[in-house]
Amino acid sequence: MFKVNGTEHSFEGLDPATPLLWVLRDSLGLVGTKYGCGIAQCGACTVHLNGQPIRACSTPMSAVEGQSITTIEGLAALDGRAEGALHPLQQAWIDHDVPQCGYCQAGQLMTAAALLKTTPHPTDADIDKAMSGNMCRCGTYTRIRKAIHAVADGGAS
Amino acid sequence: MTFSADSYFASVMGEFESLAPATKMQISRRSLLKLTGAAGAGLVLAFAIAPDAEVAAATTSKEFAPNAFLRVSPDGSILIYSKGPEIGQGIKTAFPMIIAEEMDAAWRDVQVEQAPINPKVYGRQSAGGSTSIPNSWDQLRRAGAAARAMLVSAAAKQWKVPEAECTTGDSIVMHAASKRQAKYGELALAAATLPVPDPTTLKLKTRAEYRLLGTRVSGVDNRKIVTGQPLFGIDVAMPDMVYAVYEKCPAVGGKVKRANLDAIKGMQGVKDAFVLEGNGTVSEVMPGVAIVATSTWAAFKAKAALQVEWDESSASRDSWTGAVLEAQKIAKQTGKQSITKNGDVDAALKSAAKRLEAFYSYPFLPHASLEPQNCTAWFKGDAIEMWVPTQTPERALQGVAHVLGLEQDKITMHQTRAGGGFGRRLVNDYACEAAAIAQKVSAPVKLTWTREDDMRHDFYRPGGFHAFTAGLDAKGKLVAWRDHFITFTSDGKSPVTGGNMPPAEFPLLLVANSELQQTMLPLMTPCGSWRAPRSNAVAFAVQSFIHELATAGGRDHVEFLLEIFGEPRWLPPANAGALNTGRAAAVVKLAAEKAGWGKPMPKGRALGLGFHFSHAGHFAEVAEVSVDAHKHITVHKVTVVGDIGPIVNMSGAENQCQGAVIDAISTMMNLQVGIENGRIQESNFTEYPILRMKDSPQVDVHFIQSDFTPTGVGEPAFPPAAPAIANAVFNASGMRIRSLPIRSQGVSI
Ligand code: FES
Ligand code: FES
């Protein structure tokens, strides 16, 4: 058993070596978490495991037994936010028009959300350090940094 | 077998160029059509980009439906279909903005949907060459203006006032004298009964009247993107869908001799494994082994266990290290071909006060879009339905029809958002493969390329070499220029795609004595268009060497460039692809001013300049860079100044420029693929280290909003960044970079 966005799932019958990424995408239909490299290099598959950002492509199901996973689809509802409300980072991403192709952005948001949990007022250096595991092929880094700062300075997280 | 995609690209890129902004398309009443099918839906206005004759012919047949349309519903909502592929360039937001502007629609009322792929209905539906905006600008504006005119006409009739006394704004028609107003939604049904005005009689807004264009509008899909909704090709899911992978020979042209298919078929989750002969066309289906499984992971695992023995008798044996050695030898010789010659270069070099020589090189590159190539296909006996992330849906349609031997009307194709394009998705090999696999599977099947497949089976930006010789007179003026360009050919006749230089390439037309020579090395590795084809590489070599010349002559780089531009004028050829020296000088001057050219800097820190004209965009960039004693480079800031005419979406345009600069830094610092024995040597991001946030600089973007037709912004901001940085590195440290990526020369970022 494991929890995804608050709902329990069983993965009986699945090879325990299957990476979490493919269970999310193919079995549970949660396709917001993306495949980019499969070897923990790009960060497109970033989800939270008990609040910590991890690479779903390189996390076998055996490692998530009994654990709680949050994906981009569950980010808005974190912290008991009302249905339809967005996480402040999601709103900032829209306000700053961060995405280009958008493919990396779920992973970027999940990493940024975890950063603000532990460091509500990050410096540029904190942001660079936390975010440098997430690649953006389109080069939206300038705006990601801005959007994170905007949320941090707004006092929300 | 056709390993080269050069003729394919020639035709695709030719199509883009033939539709470039200089092309005058006749627009008449016939090309704006009112859809009558949607009774009760309100005003539904369609417009066609096809030339008159075609539209006239098409309207008489039942086939005709327009290429894009807007719909005003009685509830006030305005639906606009965006016909072109969205690959991260922002067109799905920009196209509807143009219509909404002329229509005077409130942006909050506008909803945008992706148009389905059907060239018979929609006309051309492609994204490439930064041509989407210039090619659609007039048509989209007139479509919006026609809708506005009809809504005004409906109101004027109701109120029995002259149309000329009515004004519009914010989705409302107003008549000031009688203090009456009506919302567009309230007028939609009445407007729908009116004749469509002749588009040529419509009055379009002047730039001063714009309320929406030039403002900052957030991308229309952003909410879906940040909440993880399915948008991309790889997100497509169907009931009972199966998952496929496809293994091809690592050296292009190899055929399957034998494979351990039985072992693979026995693996958990594997439903089938089979050999595809393919049709031997690299832009369609090359030979390989398909594996079909119950999940992507099962398919990936089986692929890892797959053992194929390849027949490589006619496969590529290309070698990059071999090519480099060969090019170094050839550089000392006269080029095999003379592409263009102006004046007398030899005489000018002889009498020059200073003579300079330099050898520049750059490597092959894959596109590495973050979403790997993928496609979902569902074969239904005599027809097929497909979901394709592509830049050229019509080409996908043609390719699939060719591979399956189906008529195009048996193919239903949906375009999805694409996780990056950069030119990779101008080719639809992955869609053709998915179709060929689907034909053998009685269920919807999603083909996903692994990252390794994606990096090893691309249409690469070709590497290349420039052996320059140039001369300065006693005043340090550039008087002689010779570029011996060493490139590659797949057919022995013309250069590979992206590996050509035209006679108008800067600065050939601006130096009294200039020559472009060319020598081509044989190549089998497929090449293709890569963000700002040719320019993405040539700008580095040319603009760096120009800086070398300025330095050798003791000249200021800005002043040296301005002297080369000379008087403001258009250079040949007389079309939209021509450079205007006045626009060029203006962007250089403004970039220097904005970046603080000439300001005092601490030791080890300096500014560098790069200029390049491509895709009808004039761009100058100044980089501020530090270099430490360990050859470690920090790029602090890049200032971008571009002239692409009026800006449609300020936010989107800035985003493209910022991204282009970061892409360019990434590429010049770190990126290359090697080729040995026909095999691409890199396979994933560990060996292809795309720039991370910590190394990305501040990028300041400024536009000179001239009154020329707006042109595209996806590409032209890329080329000047690499020379700007390389020139700044020289100014900061005295170290001259003549070969990319600079990581290979002990320099780090
Ligand atoms: S897909 Fe997991 S890090 Fe790239
Ligand atoms: S927005 Fe395209 S990869 Fe980040």
Of B80-94, B203-217, B605-619, minimum mean pLDDT range: B80-94
Judged by CB atoms closer than 8 Å, whether chains meet at A101 and B369 is answered as: yes
CA distance A125 to chain B (A): 8
Q: What percent of chain B has pLDDT above 70? A: 92
A90 → closest Cβ in B226, B243, B300 = B226
Say which DSSP state B585 is in: H
- The per-residue pLDDT for range B161-182, each reduced to its tens digit, is 999 999 999 999 999 999 999 9
What are phi and psi for residue B568, nearest 5 degrees?
-65, 125
A2-76 adopts what CATH topology? Ubiquitin-like (UB roll) (3.10.20)
Question: Ligand 2 pocket, A133 CB below 6 A?
Answer: no
Task: Tell me the C-alpha distance between B284 and B708, whole Å.
Answer: 39
Task: Tell me the C-alpha distance between B52 and B616, whole Å.
Answer: 27
Task: Tell me the C-alpha distance between B394 and B120, whole Å.
Answer: 10
H-helix segments, B261-317: 261-265, 296-305
CA distance A41 to chain B (A): 6
Per-residue model confidence (pLDDT) at position B122: 63
Provide the pLDDT confidence category of residue B38 given band limits of 50, 70 and 90.
very low
Cis peptide before B495 (omega within 30 of 0): no
Per-residue model confidence (pLDDT) at position B51: 29
A2-76 and A85-152 share one CATH topology? no
CB A41 within 8 A of CB A77: no
CA distance B86 to chain A (A): 8
Statement: B21-213 belongs to CATH 3.40.50.150? no
With 60 as the cut, is the pLDDT of residue B749 above it?
yes
If DSSP states are collapsed to H, E and C, what string results for B436-486? HHHCCCCCCEEEECCHHHHHHCCCEECCEEEEEEEEECCCCCEEEEEEEEE
Predicted interface score ipTM higher than 0.90: yes
The residues, any chain, with a CB within 8 Å of residue B501's CB and separated by 6 or more, are B339, B483, B485, B487, B516, B518, B534, B538
Span B534-553, average pLDDT = 98
B21-213 and B320-365+460-745 share one CATH topology? yes
H-helix segments, A14-154: 20-22, 72-75, 88-95, 105-118, 124-131, 141-153
- The per-residue pLDDT for range B581-608, each reduced to its tens digit, is 999 999 999 999 999 999 999 999 999 9
Of B66-80, B219-233, B583-597, B728-742, minimum mean pLDDT range: B66-80
With 80 as the cut, is the pLDDT of residue A61 above it?
yes
Please state the domain extents for chain B. 21-213, 233-314+373-448, 320-365+460-745
Strand runs labelled E in B250-353: 255-259, 270-276, 288-293, 308-311, 337-342
* More confident: B10 or B688: B688
Helix (H/G/I), strand (E/B), else coil: B332: coil
Which residues from A are below 8 Å from B222, CB to CB? 93-94, 97-99, 102
Span A43-54, average pLDDT = 97
A85-152 adopts what CATH topology? DNA polymerase; domain 1 (1.10.150)
Of A136-140, B240-244, B390-394, minimum mean pLDDT range: B390-394
Per-residue model confidence (pLDDT) at position B50: 31
Per-residue model confidence (pLDDT) at position B744: 82
Cα radius of gyration (chain A): 15
Please state the domain extents for chain A. 2-76, 85-152
Provide the pLDDT confidence category of residue B546 given band limits of 50, 70 and 90.
very high
> Across all residues in chain B, what is the average pLDDT?
91
Domain boundaries B233-314+373-448, corresponding CATH code: 3.30.365.10
DSSP B221-246: THHHHHTT-S-BGGG---TT-EEEEE
Per-residue model confidence (pLDDT) at position B389: 97
pTM summary value: 0.94
Task: Tell me the C-alpha distance between B48 and B55, whole Å.
Answer: 7
Task: Tell me the C-alpha distance between B390 and B127, whole Å.
Answer: 9
- The per-residue pLDDT for range B452-478, each reduced to its tens digit, is 999 999 999 999 999 999 999 999 999
Task: Tell me the C-alpha distance between B341 and B515, whole Å.
Answer: 4
Question: Ligand 2 pocket, A99 CB below 6 A?
Answer: yes
CB B684 within 8 A of CB B455: yes
With 90 as the cut, is the pLDDT of residue B119 above it?
no
Q: How far does the centroid of ligand 2 lie from the alpha carbon of residue B225, in Å? A: 11
**A46 close to B (CB below 8 A):** no
| Cβ neighbour number for residue A50 with a 10 Å cutoff | 11
**Burial, B707: exposed, middle or buried (Cβ in 10 Å; 0-12, 13-18, 19+)?**
exposed
Span B36-65, average pLDDT = 37
Span A124-153, average pLDDT = 96
Of A41-55, B96-110, B498-512, B570-584, minimum mean pLDDT range: B570-584
With 80 as the cut, is the pLDDT of residue B57 above it?
no
With 50 as the cut, is the pLDDT of residue A52 above it?
yes
Provide the pLDDT confidence category of residue B575 given band limits of 50, 70 and 90.
confident
Of B82-86, B272-276, B662-666, minimum mean pLDDT range: B82-86
Helix (H/G/I), strand (E/B), else coil: B114: strand
Per-residue model confidence (pLDDT) at position B61: 26
CATH of B320-365+460-745, one of 3.40.920.10, 3.30.365.10, 3.40.109.10, 2.40.110.10: 3.30.365.10
Span B508-532, average pLDDT = 97
